[in-house]
């Protein structure tokens, strides 16, 4: 690649999945612009997307990129550069020994929603098909697993039923637990356009903070953290009382309503208003707007998912849509926005510890047999693997000896960092497969495997509206970096030889061969993409699933026929009951801490933190408090404060914000320890906000409650 060229890709930041055109001079990325033909963004890009080329700056690349394999044989030694051959030999030997001594569940893989679908597919097959462990989970557990569980429990499959175009058709947009203006900016631009085109469109926002999204809403419900189920049940109560439910739809297409109806009887406007900390009038308005509108669309994200009752929150909102028939028609539906660029692709290949390929269930013997047949193995294990937090607990306990971490940074992003870091120290072997050598997790790596990243990779991703985009590399692989799928396949083939397997189940020479195998696993499933080839994706552009053999287009919207992928064909109401947050405030920890994204940063900043202009919006971490709390504690703007939970402490400047109610605190999720100490806050001994957050899990989705912790705030 020595000549200037352009290649189509998607932005690697969020689940909107905007199309980008990457411009290179043959050796490096020199520019990026929005792809006018991509249906996710029609040429628009937000601040992060439009500065993507700056993350590929050659000097930064040299400083930050992992370019060569490294390994250390002694835990207290330094990693040294090594050949791929030597590293692979070492890994195969260690895996074979460990599995033979302690069994397949003594090893684990922790992967990422940043991987491409094909990467995900191979890792999943490696763990479940070859090694025989379901100990493979992903950072999507921290992001989407409550949405997965909510969709499956109610609609029968993990499939967002709506599409971006529904924003243009909606009369009411209900944004719950999402600062869409910051987290999904290009989708928010579409909401702004829809408001201009339809002055009657009502936007309701439910959020503990008055975010920029909330400020622009027609109705803002500043609910107390964690009270979403009470809110949704209360809205359903009012819809029932005011005859805004669709009895004919409920009778024809759903089951389980009678039990839920008995439950929501108790969610009177007074009880719900008191529980949520909002006015009865606002609650009544929200319910009436939602229930009476021709088309109500809900958009929701981590405010619902990152909760110890995340599945119930998702299900309660879907209940509301089903009861009012706000689903399966233009402009309506419960639409979970994906956080990461390819969390959806991971879900499609079953890349979580409790899922199997193509939305199959691990607990279903027929599904396990189907996957075993498709993969050409005797069986896939039935015992669910360890989910993200459980995995690190098992590593710390010594039950998991080897962990292979790909394209994610758990030493910053998982809750309860003390636990995570103890686990990484305790593991017998930590393998980190990464594009960047600067992440906190790399510090714990015994083996560092350099991987390619955005603009260098080839494969597919799926965005929030089930739309699959194929892209090709714009640049060659740097240094000795390899593609994520290539690394997994190389290791798998060597392990097969060590296991004396007669033939390989990883026969791929190209990434397209992996796609074709994945595609075949979807045949007859709700996400059937047997009609979708790389050639079609190239010729006709990004397509939504399902796209079965013989189809000429994907399906925009699901369940328009009122038939759901459950055994009975009916959607199921889940009897959702409000549960308070896992860690309520008390006299010692009186502040409700919530966490979230800032406008111009992404996750742990391994990429966005390399672009100077992305610090213009927020240059350093801080804790936002209400003016009332600042005055009561004699804290002035910019004063350093200790923010302390039961698990750890952080020193941050305090900032007065009228977004906050008294008794609440907010910290952006992006900064880790390096940055805090780099700004002269030495001695804080922290690991970013996740020193404070709670590992309490939702019982169904096992998603941790990253969105809420009880803390105290004391002047430093």
Question: Which residue's CB is nearer to ligand SF4, number 13 or number 257?
Answer: 13
Contact criterion met (CB below 8 Å) for 81 and 95: no
Residue in 7, 9, 13, 461 binding ligand SF4, rule: CB under 6 A: 13
Q: Per CB under 6 A, does 9 bind ligand SF4?
A: no
Q: Left, alpha or beta for 277 (phi > 0: left; psi -120 to 50: alpha)?
A: left
* Token pair recorded at residue 145: 């697993």
Per-residue CA distances from 648 to 439, 683, 689 (Å)? 21, 13, 9
Q: Per CB under 6 A, does 537 bind ligand SF4?
A: no
Dist. CA 478–CA 147, nearest whole Å: 37
Contact range with ligand SF4 by CB under 6 A, out of 39-47, 268-276, 372-380, 572-580:
39-47
- Return the residues of window 104-123 that contact ligand SF4 according to CB under 6 A: none
Question: Which residue's CB is nearer to ligand SF4, number 34 or number 415?
Answer: 34
> Which residues, 6 or more positions from 325, have their beta carbon under 8 angstroms from its beta carbon?
246, 249, 250, 332
Q: Per CB under 6 A, does 19 bind ligand SF4?
A: no
Q: Per CB under 6 A, does 454 bind ligand SF4?
A: no
- Return the residues of window 570-589 that contact ligand SF4 according to CB under 6 A: none
Question: Which residue's CB is nearer to ligand SF4, number 11 or number 667?
Answer: 11
Residue in 9, 45, 461, 474 binding ligand SF4, rule: CB under 6 A: 45
Question: Which residue's CB is nearer to ligand SF4, number 307 or number 342?
Answer: 342
Contact range with ligand SF4 by CB under 6 A, out of 133-141, 180-188, 345-353, 438-446:
180-188
Q: How far is the CB of 461 from ligand SF4 (least distance, A)?
A: 10
Residue in 49, 303, 346, 668 binding ligand SF4, rule: CB under 6 A: 49
How many CB atoms sit inside 10 A of residue 404's CB?
A: 26
SS3 state of residue 214: helix
Q: Per CB under 6 A, does 16 bind ligand SF4?
A: yes
Dist. CA 461–CA 445, nearest whole Å: 28
SS3 state of residue 469: strand
Q: Per CB under 6 A, does 176 bind ligand SF4?
A: no
Contact range with ligand SF4 by CB under 6 A, out of 7-15, 92-100, 324-332, 522-530:
7-15
Number of residues that bind ligand SF4 (CB under 6 A): 14
Q: Per CB under 6 A, does 14 bind ligand SF4?
A: yes
* Token pair recorded at residue 174: 């209900």
Alpha-helical segments (H) within 158-276 = 166-169, 180-183, 185-197, 212-215, 228-241, 247-253, 257-264, 269-276
Q: Is the alpha carbon torsion for 56, 58, 62, 66 positive or negative? A: positive
Question: Which residue's CB is nearer to ligand SF4, number 186 or number 689?
Answer: 186
- Return the residues of window 374-413 that contact ligand SF4 according to CB under 6 A: none
Question: Which residue's CB is nearer to ligand SF4, number 17 or number 208?
Answer: 17
Q: Per CB under 6 A, does 22 bind ligand SF4?
A: no
> Which residues, 6 or more positions from 530, have their beta carbon under 8 angstroms from its beta carbon?
519, 520, 522, 523, 547, 548, 549
- Return the residues of window 631-660 that contact ligand SF4 according to CB under 6 A: none
Residue in 11, 407, 487, 711 binding ligand SF4, rule: CB under 6 A: 11
Distance of CA 207 to the CA centre of its chain: 19
Q: How far is the CB of 50 from ligand SF4 (least distance, A)?
A: 7
Output the DSSP codes for 502-566. SS-S---SSHHHHHHHHHHHTTTSTT--TT--HHHHHHH--EESP--TT-SS--SSS-TTS--SS
Tell me the residue ranges of DSSP E strands in 415-495: 429-434, 447-450, 459-462, 467-471
Residue in 7, 21, 29, 46 binding ligand SF4, rule: CB under 6 A: 46
Q: Per CB under 6 A, does 48 bind ligand SF4?
A: yes
Question: Which residue's CB is nearer to ligand SF4, number 607 or number 702?
Answer: 607
CB nearest ligand SF4: which residue?
Answer: 49
Q: Per CB under 6 A, does 182 bind ligand SF4?
A: no
Output the DSSP codes for 601-636. --TT-TTGGG-GGGGSS--S--EEE-HHHHHHTTPP
Question: Which residue's CB is nearer to ligand SF4, number 14 or number 709?
Answer: 14
Contact range with ligand SF4 by CB under 6 A, out of 11-19, 238-246, 247-255, 303-311:
11-19
Residue in 7, 8, 9, 18 binding ligand SF4, rule: CB under 6 A: 18
> Which residues, 6 or more positions from 631, have their beta carbon under 8 angstroms from its beta carbon?
none
Q: Per CB under 6 A, does 186 bind ligand SF4?
A: yes
Question: Which residue's CB is nearer to ligand SF4, number 92 or number 183?
Answer: 183
Among 656, 636, 662, smallest CA distance to 716 is for: 636
- Return the residues of window 228-257 that contact ligand SF4 according to CB under 6 A: none
Question: Which residue's CB is nearer to ligand SF4, number 49 or number 69?
Answer: 49
Contact range with ligand SF4 by CB under 6 A, out of 10-18, 24-32, 376-384, 583-591:
10-18
Q: Per CB under 6 A, does 339 bind ligand SF4?
A: no
Question: Which residue pairs, CB below 8 angstroms and at least 24 apart, start in 315-318?
Answer: 315/150, 315/153, 315/154, 315/574, 315/576, 316/228, 316/229, 316/232, 316/233, 316/236, 316/574, 316/576, 317/150, 317/176, 317/228, 317/232, 318/150, 318/151, 318/154, 318/155, 318/574
Question: Which residue's CB is nearer to ligand SF4, number 186 or number 236?
Answer: 186
* Token pair recorded at residue 350: 């079953």
Residues found near ligand SF4 in the complex (CB under 6 A)? 11, 13-14, 16-18, 41, 45-46, 48-49, 184-186
């Amino acid at each position: 690649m020595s000549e200037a060229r352009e290649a189509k890709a998607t932005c690697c930041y969020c689940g909107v999945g905007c199309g980008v055109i990457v411009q290179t001079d043959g050796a490096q990325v020199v520019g990026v612009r929005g792809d006018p033909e991509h249906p996710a963004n029609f040429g628009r890009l937000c601040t992060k997307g439009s500065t993507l080329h700056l993350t590929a700056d050659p000097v930064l690349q040299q400083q930050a990129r992992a370019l060569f394999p490294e390994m250390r044989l002694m835990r207290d030694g330094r990693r040294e550069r090594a050949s791929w051959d030597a590293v692979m030999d070492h890994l195969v030997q260690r895996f074979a020994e460990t599995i033979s001594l302690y069994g397949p569940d003594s090893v684990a893989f922790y992967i990422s929603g940043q991987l491409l679908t094909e990467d995900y597919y191979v890792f999943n097959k490696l763990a479940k098909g070859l090694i025989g462990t379901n100990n493979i989970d992903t950072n999507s557990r921290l992001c989407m697993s409550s949405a997965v569980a909510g969709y499956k429990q109610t609609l029968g499959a993990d499939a967002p039923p709506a599409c971006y175009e529904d924003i243009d058709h909606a009369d009411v947009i209900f944004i719950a637990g999402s600062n869409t203006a910051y987290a999904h900016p290009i989708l928010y631009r579409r909401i702004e356009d829809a408001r201009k085109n339809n002055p009657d469109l009502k936007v309701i926002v439910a959020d503990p903070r008055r975010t920029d999204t909330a400020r622009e809403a027609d109705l803002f419900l500043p609910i107390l953290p964690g009270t979403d189920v009470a809110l949704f049940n209360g809205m359903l109560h009012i819809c029932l009382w005011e005859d805004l439910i669709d009895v004919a739809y409920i009778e024809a297409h759903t089951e389980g309503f009678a039990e839920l109806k008995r439950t929501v009887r108790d969610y009177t406007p007074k009880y719900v208003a008191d529980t949520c900390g909002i006015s009865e009038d606002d609650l009544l308005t929200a319910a009436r707007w939602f229930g009476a509108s021709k088309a109500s669309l809900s958009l929701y994200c981590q405010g619902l998912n990152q909760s110890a009752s995340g599945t119930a929150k998702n299900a309660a909102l879907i209940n509301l849509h089903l009861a009012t028939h706000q689903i399966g028609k233009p402009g309506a539906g419960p639409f979970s926005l994906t956080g990461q660029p390819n969390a959806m692709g991971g879900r499609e290949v079953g890349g979580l510890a409790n899922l199997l390929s193509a939305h199959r269930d691990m607990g279903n013997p027929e599904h396990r047999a189907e996957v075993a047949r498709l993969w050409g193995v005797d069986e896939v294990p039935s015992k669910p693997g360890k989910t993200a937090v459980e995995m690190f607990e098992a590593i710390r306990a010594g039950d998991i000896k080897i962990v292979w971490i790909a394209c994610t940074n758990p030493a910053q992003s998982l809750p309860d960092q003390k636990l995570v870091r103890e686990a990484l120290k305790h593991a017998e072997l930590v393998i980190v497969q990464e594009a960047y050598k600067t992440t906190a997790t790399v510090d714990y790596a015994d083996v560092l495997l350099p991987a390619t990243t955005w603009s260098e990779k080839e494969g597919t991703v799926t965005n929030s509206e089930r739309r699959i985009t194929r892209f090709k590399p714009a640049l060659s692989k740097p240094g000795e970096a390899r593609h994520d799928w290539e690394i997994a396949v190389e290791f798998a083939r060597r392990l097969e030889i060590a296991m004396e397997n007669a033939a390989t189940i990883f026969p791929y020479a190209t990434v397209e061969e992996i796609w074709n195998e994945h595609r075949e696993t979807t045949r007859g499933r709700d996400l059937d993409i047997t009609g979708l080839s790389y050639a079609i994706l190239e010729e006709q552009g990004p397509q939504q699933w399902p796209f079965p053999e013989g189809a000429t287009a994907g399906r925009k919207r699901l369940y328009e026929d009122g038939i759901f992928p459950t055994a009975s064909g009916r959607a199921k109401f889940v009897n959702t009951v409000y549960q308070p947050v896992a860690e309520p405030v008390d006299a010692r920890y009186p502040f409700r801490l919530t966490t979230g994204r800032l406008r111009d940063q992404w996750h742990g900043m391994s990429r966005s933190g390399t672009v100077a202009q992305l610090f213009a919006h927020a240059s350093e971490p801080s804790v936002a408090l209400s003016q009332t709390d600042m005055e009561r504690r004699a804290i002035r703007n910019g004063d350093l404060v200790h923010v302390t939970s039961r698990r750890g402490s952080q020193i941050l400047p305090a900032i007065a914000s009228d977004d906050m109610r008294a008794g609440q605190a907010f910290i952006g999720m992006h900064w880790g320890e390096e940055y805090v100490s780099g700004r002269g806050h030495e001695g804080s001994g922290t690991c970013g906000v996740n020193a404070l957050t709670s590992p309490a899990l939702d019982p169904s989705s096992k998603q941790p409650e990253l969105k809420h912790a009880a803390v105290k705030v004391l002047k430093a």
